[in-house]
């Protein structure tokens, strides 16, 4: 059973449908006992980092997720959910993240050349850094995935699984630190490639 964390941030309809589509059993929840009992956890999220981090804290989910991750439960963050896995974000001020993957989240705009658009929106190709990672099972390098974001994870090279290039900036697309992984792109919106990644996460039975 995969628990999708419901903390009032973002739209979970597509993610749920995609999990159902790949035949994964899933439940949308913020209930502590359900999260503890789940085999795996997905942390979704769209919107602002500060608000999302505050909601996690308000619901007591920050300490719970940290505890479960430390105990080895596979945890996958998607988009803002991935950004929340890092130490901190500099999105309109400085906000603490969950600190499960070393690194910080910074705005894209200041590092992009003039004329490059923000958000980084659309289909971008993947360069593999850890081709053996379970998330990349059955996927070819150069495959395209769908991104929509204005902030990106930095100082986290050790965690890079796959990246995309945008305006000369290396954008971490998929990251991992042990049993904690995440994607900046939306696997639930990345067609067959994204469904394959979700299926790999759902099937993953060993902790890297």
Partner 1 sequence: MLTKRIIPCLDVRNGRVVKGVNFEGLRDVSDPVTLARFYNQAGADELVFYDITASAEGRPLFADALRAVAAEVFIPLTVGGSINTVDDFDRVLKCGADKVSVNSGALRDPSLIENAAKRYGDQCVVLSMDVKRVDGSFHVFARGGREDTGRDAIEWAKFGEDHGAGEIVLNSIDTDGVRKGFDLEMLQAIGDVVRLPIIASGGAGCMEDFVTLFRLPCVDAGLAASIFHSQEVEINALKAYLKEQGVPMRI
**Annotated active-site positions, please?**
79, 186, 188
23 binds partner 1 (CB under 8 A): no
Structure tokens at 157: 């090279």
CA-closest candidate to residue 24, choices 156, 204, 167: 204
Please give the residues from 143 up to 162 whose contact with partner 1 meets the rule CB under 8 A.
144, 146, 148-150
What is the rounded end-to-end Cα distance, in angstroms, of the chain?
A: 20
Structure tokens at 28: 């949308």
29 binds partner 1 (CB under 8 A): no
Rounded Cα gap, residues 32 and 39, in angstroms: 13
- Which listed range, 62-70, 83-91, 122-130, 177-185, lies at the site for partner 1 (CB under 8 A)? 122-130
46 binds partner 1 (CB under 8 A): yes
Tell me whether residue 50 or residue 178 sits nearer to partner 1 (CB atom).
50
8 binds partner 1 (CB under 8 A): no
What does DSSP assign to residue 187? G
195 binds partner 1 (CB under 8 A): yes
Main-chain phi, psi angles of 27, to 5 degrees:
-140, 140
Rounded Cα gap, residues 129 and 86, in angstroms: 19
Binding site residues, partner 1, CB under 8 A? 11, 13-14, 17-18, 20-21, 46-48, 115, 117-125, 144, 146, 148-150, 164-166, 188-192, 194-195
């Amino acid at each position: 059973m995969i628990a999708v964390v419901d903390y009032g941030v973002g739209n979970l309809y597509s993610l749920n449908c995609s999990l159902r589509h790949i035949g994964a059993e899933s439940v949308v929840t913020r209930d502590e006992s359900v999260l503890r009992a789940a085999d795996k956890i997905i942390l979704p999220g769209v919107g602002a980092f500060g608000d999302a981090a505050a909601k996690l804290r308000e619901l007591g989910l920050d300490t719970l997720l940290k505890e479960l991750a430390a105990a080895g439960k596979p945890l996958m963050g998607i988009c803002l959910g991935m950004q929340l896995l890092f130490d901190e974000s500099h999105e309109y001020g400085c906000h603490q993240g969950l600190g499960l993957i070393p690194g910080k989240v910074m705005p894209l705009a200041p590092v992009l050349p003039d004329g490059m658009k923000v958000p980084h929106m659309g289909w971008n190709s993947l360069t593999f850094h850890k081709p053996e990672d379970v998330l990349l099972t059955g996927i070819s390098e150069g495959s395209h995935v769908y991104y929509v974001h204005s902030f990106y994870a930095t100082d986290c090279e050790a965690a890079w699984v796959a990246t995309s290039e945008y305006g000369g900036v290396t954008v971490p697309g998929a990251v991992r630190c042990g049993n904690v992984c995440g994607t900046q792109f939306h696997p639930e919106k990345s067609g067959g490639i994204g469904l394959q990644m979700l299926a790999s996460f759902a099937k993953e039975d060993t902790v890297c």
